[in-house]
Amino acid sequence: MQQKKMTLKGLAQILGVHTSTVGRVMDPLTRHMVGEEVAQRVLKEAAKHGYRPNKMAASLRTRRSNIVGVILPDITNPVFPPIVLGIEDELRKHGYVALMTNAGEDQAQQRFVVDQLLARQVDALILATATRDDPVISHCLAAGVALVTVNRSEDRGRVSSVVNDEYAGMRQAVEHLLALGHRHMVHLVGPQNLSTGHLRKEGYELAMAANGVPREAAWEVEGSAYTREAGRAACLEAMARYPQATAILAGNDLLALGCYDGLRELGLRCPEDVSVVGHNDMPFVDMVNPPLTTVRISHHAMGVQAAQLVLKGLQQEGGGQMEIRLKPELVVRGSTAKPR
C-alpha cells in the first residue's frame, strides 16, 4: 500500500508547531525568521518523511514562483553558458532558479517563448536576445513583467541592462595593433541591429580617429551574422577589397575563427601575413592555432550582475533604469604580431 504523501499541516502536527512555522523554514528566503533549533527540527522531520513544499500551491498563494526566465538567442554560442552560470549562481543564493530557453533571433519565436514563460508564472525575465529596436521588449513591458537585458541593450533605454564597454574594448584592440606597427587594418563589423555590432563599429572608428587614422583608412567589411561561416565570407571579401591589409579586427570570436578559415583558403598565414583579433574570449580560443588574441569580457560577472538587477526589480529597489558596463581586458596571444 502506497504511503500517503506528507503535507505541511501533517508535518506541523507531528512537530507540535504552527503550519506557518513549517512554511517559513521550508522557504530559504524566510528561514532566518525561525530560531535555529526549531528550524533544524523541522528540516530533519521533513527529510524523514520526504516532505517537499508544493511550489505551485505556494505560488498561487504568494503570486511568486521564484523562477526567472532566461531567453537566449543561440545556445550553441560558447559566450552564453558562462552568462547563464553567473545568473544561476546569483539567483540560487536568493532562493530563485533560472528557467532557460533558446529562442533564436526570430522575434515572432521570441515573443512565443516569452508568452510561454509568462504562462508558467515566471517572476521576471532576463533577455540575451535584445535588438536595438526591439518589439519583444515592448511586449514584455506591456505584460508588466520585471525585465533586464544582458550582453545586449536597446537604444531606447527602457529597461536595465548589463553590457560590456564596447568602446573601451575596441580601443584596446586598435591600440594594440597600432603599437605593433600595423597601419592597414580592417574591422569585420558585426550585425548592426545589435548593440554589440553597432557599438564595436563606433568604438573602432573612434579609436582610429583618436590615433590620427583618417576615416577613409578605417576599413570595414560587414559580416552577415556572428558566425564562423559569416567570418570566413567577410574575411574573403575584406582581403579582396583591401589586399594590403595586415590585420583584421573581428566583431567577435566566431567571426575571428572564420577569418582563420578564410586566410587558409587564400594561402595566407596568421599572424605572419595577417594578424587577427577577436572579441569575447569565449571558451577554448586559447587552444586554437594560433591562440587567439581577443578582448576578454567577464561573462560570468555579467550574468551575476543581471541577476542582481532583476532581483532588485522584483524587490522594487532603486529608481529608474540603469546600464552597467563591465570593463573589458585585451588578452594578447599568438594571433597578432608585427607586420612584415
User: Which pLDDT tens digit goes with each residue over 20-73?
Assistant: 887 788 776 677 788 888 888 888 888 887 777 665 555 545 466 899 999 999
User: Which pLDDT tens digit goes with each residue over 198-232?
Assistant: 999 999 999 999 999 999 999 999 999 999 999 99
What domains appear along the chain, each with residue ranges and CATH number? 8-53 (no CATH), 66-164+299-326 (3.40.50.2300), 166-297 (3.40.50.2300)
Query: pTM value?
Result: 0.82
How far apart, in whole angstroms, are the C-alpha atoms of residue 60 and residue 55? 9
Residue 268, C-beta contacts closer than 8 angstroms, at least 6 positions apart: 239, 274
How far apart, in whole angstroms, are the C-alpha atoms of residue 173 and residue 337? 13
At residue 213, the pLDDT reads: 94
Number of H helices, E strands in the chain: 12, 12
User: Which pLDDT tens digit goes with each residue over 234-276?
Assistant: 999 999 999 999 999 999 999 999 999 999 999 999 999 999 9
User: What is the full DSSP assignment across 135-194?
Assistant: HHHHHHHHHT-EEEEES---TT--SEEEEE-HHHHHHHHHHHHHHHT---EEEEEPPTTS
